[in-house]
Amino acid sequence: MDYFLTEEQKMIQELTEQIAREKIRPIRAELDESEEFPWEIMRTLAQADLFGLYIPEQYGGMGGGVFDNCLAVEKLGEACIGIATSFAASGLGAYPILLFGSEEMKQKYLPQIASGKRLAAFGLTEPGAGSDVSGIRTVAVKDGDSYVLNGSKQWITNGGESEIYSVLAITDRAKGPRGASFFVVEKGDPGFFFGKKEKKLGIRASATRELIFQDCRIPADRLIAKEGMGFIIAMKTFDKSRPGIAALGVGLAQGALDIAVEYARKRVQFEKPIISFQAIQHKLADMAVKTEAARALVYSVARYMDSEPREVSKVAAMTKVFAGDVAMEVSTNAVQVLGGYGYMKDYPVEKMMRDAKILQIYEGTNEIQRNIIGQELNKEYGRLKESFI
């Protein structure tokens, strides 16, 4: 399929494909086993200018948008979404600063993130606050020229590895959802610690840790935007990042499809390659249709988002829910096509199936995405004067 990409976008694809082929594929199984953080690949991605794809040129980035970033994570995700998640999580951590940070804050942090010299991370989830963000317990209290943070964040991607953290904390509990605020916390700030590294079903090359704040004192100018903006910043950040998660799903589905088709052409049973059997053909056909449909949706939404429209929550959620579900289904079917071999660690599809599950969970579960889409539909149709009945 020709998606009429620009010259520059084709270069992004070419470059990320080369990195996936030469640097990621040869070591993905090893990192999955050892759960080692892929620092060497992060350095390669940094040197290739990829951490700055969506960051404006004035802050050291490449000046692209959501679409450019999607193209990159898709290709990296074809090889390993554990590694690609480590890459993408830095963007998630950067977006609160990019979208809402003061000029000074942007000048300080964005060039470091764009160059890949320092990774960013995003701290929202807590033991008692996942889908229900209002359950957040971490507090930030203003004290002179500082804020003092107390509490903990759970399952933070790149936790312990990143140096720059965008963290959500309550500044005024009485105000409910309007009482939360975002802060930048740096590795090394007094009172900022990391908990144990989590053991996971998939994306094991990515690091997931707890963030612990014990009287963590940070300068007051680390507040992003104003007090009370926290939830808005979180929602706007997710709008930007969800197509990226969807692109990981497209990549993973494509990677699984590639292996399934190649295998089905070679594997002989009943004296024929198994691709000659309709049971396999139809399965592969459905996998291909869904993968391409997910790609088409992600690309068109990402392109639309880069035109800076006002409302994007619904379409951003659509990409995440659809591509996430497709990735799970396609990778599961890829294991089925490979049969016993697919279930063994000799082929990468069992890892892909384990990895795919997270796409339906993190950055807002797919149930939450459907809530967002449903609520937006209700709002949209409520505004319409016309009846269709």
Partner 1 sequence: MHIVVCIKQVPDTKNVRIDPDTHTLVRQGVESIINPFDMFAIEGALKIKDQNGARVTVVTMGPPQASEALRETLGLGVDDAVLLSDRAFAGSDTWATSTTLSAAIRKMGDVDLILCGKQAVDGDTAQVGPEMAALLDVPYATFVKNIDTRESGFVKVVRQTDEGTEVWRLQLPALMTVIKELGEPRVPSLRHKMRAKKAEVAVWGTAELGLDPNSTGLSGSFTQVVRVFSPQRRGNRIQLEGSIENQVEQLFQHLKKARVPGL
Handedness of CA 360, 364, 370, 371 (dihedral sign): positive
Q: Which stretch binds partner 1 (CB under 8 A): 21-29, 151-159, 285-293, 304-312?
A: 21-29
Q: Which stretch binds partner 1 (CB under 8 A): 20-28, 135-143, 161-169, 252-260?
A: 20-28
Kindly identify the residues of this chain, within the stretch 338-357, that bind partner 1 according to CB under 8 A. 346
**Residue 228 backbone phi and psi in degrees, to 5:** 90, -5
SS3 312: coil
Among 5, 35, 36, 49, binds partner 1 (CB under 8 A): 49
Handedness of CA 385, 312, 233, 65 (dihedral sign): negative
Question: Is 11 a residue that touches partner 1 (CB under 8 A)?
Answer: yes
Active site residue 363: yes
SS3 content of the chain, % helix, strand, coil (to 5): 60, 15, 25
14 or 286: CB nearest partner 1: 14
Among 31, 42, 50, 170, binds partner 1 (CB under 8 A): 50
CA distance 350 to 204: 13
CA distance 345 to 354: 11
Catalytic residue among 363, 376, 380, 386: 363
60 or 179: CB nearest partner 1: 60
* Orientation angle between helical segments 349-356 and 230-266, nearest 10 degrees: 160
Phi-psi region of 215 (alpha: psi -120 to 50; beta: other; left: phi over 0): left
CA distance 193 to 211: 6
Site size toward partner 1, by CB under 8 A: 19
Convert residues 169-198 into a mask of x (bound to partner 1 by CB under 8 A) and - (unbound). ------------------------------
Handedness of CA 362, 367, 369, 372 (dihedral sign): negative
Kindly identify the residues of this chain, within the stretch 51-70, that bind partner 1 according to CB under 8 A. 53, 62
Among 5, 35, 48, 366, binds partner 1 (CB under 8 A): 48
26 or 190: CB nearest partner 1: 26
Q: How far is the CB of 36 from partner 1 (least distance, A)?
A: 17
Q: Which residues are catalytic?
A: 363
Using CB under 8 A, list all residues that contact partner 1: 7-8, 11-12, 14-15, 18-19, 22-23, 26, 44, 47-50, 53, 62, 346
